[in-house]
Structure 1
């Protein structure tokens, strides 16, 4: 997840963009670890954008906040994605299985705002009474670990958080990284904003794609970009409207404020996990 940052000497203008994505047309920087043509082809075949792919110690960061491992890229794409109206809900190749189940979450070495934000995100999911529930723990081995990293603005953007997708074994992605840099959330982070980012990253961990993946201009502005479905198909979720789906918790970009589930988000989650 990213927000747009415009540093000028010692100050930052607050033009927020919901992380998870980078606006189309943003300046592309030279990558210290070039991504091979083979890897880019695998990313594209899986239905992800190949713009601004970053190689990391854990794999490849795509679409601003999604971590794909080398093993995930090698797996055969077999599952469809899900559409909601003109702005679609998408699922990934694999979902969380062995339901019903409780996914434990542990916050490691982060401040009180991140702990409270985690509790906020967990409460929002659990109120939906899905067959996947979340519980924050303070000891033992968790299913998902939320930990920090410190990375400043780059190219007019700053990454707020990142996560990945469920594995082929049916387990959620196990790590959410939240940026502790001063330009990410400031010196006094807003709990609802932090909670919204964590809520979004948990969505990726259980298999949700960006809602406006087929047209990122809907939330990010700029030119309309249709990435295609990556050859994995699309299934419409019945009972959703035909117009644009505003304020989804999985939209690629936002105004940087509090954002939770809208009506169609609830439909999509119930379709998958109720």
Structure 2
């Protein structure tokens, strides 16, 4: 028991802990102003000595939060910067120069495109004119060249064919004479038959009439035609006329 009392003695000697601060109570009477009302008239009370009010230490009074009553500062808009007229004029001039440059560039491009189109049109027209002129000249030259080639070929072919045609005519003449002499000898009373003409044709005709040559008198002469005589019948070739026609054709070629 004495031990317990001894332990409690130091606690009793200590001062009580200070009261914890409390939030302000706006509903308390110290904050709300007193309403002034006129009390009903009453009989005057006997005068008594005023009671002494208990005062609390200043440190124990808890002040309300001052942050709630701090003055509010309004945000003031910054003043607009002062205009630099020279800078504005320079910027406007730069924009004007840029716009003028862009417009001039556009006009130059349009003019260049128009000049290019006009040049291409002139070039195409010049090519058409040149092609027409050169085409006409080439056509004339080709026509003249083909005409000359035709004449040259005709002349050469005619000269090459003249001997062939002459020989062909001679061969046809011999065959025709042989057939005529054969018909004359086939008559019931054939007359004496004599044949005169160039030696080469006489030889060719005699060879063709080899089986009948004994009844025919062949005589070579300087004449150009072959003549077959049988009584009153006379047969003569026309080799000279054909030769003249061939020579004229060759000369015209």
TM-score category (smaller protein): under 0.3
Pair member with larger Rg: 2
Greater relative contact order: 1 or 2 (C-alpha under 8 angstroms, separation 6 or more)? 1
Give the number of the structure whose residues are more often helix, by fraction: 2
Which is richer in strand?
Answer: 1
User: What TM-score, normalized to structure 1?
Assistant: 0.17
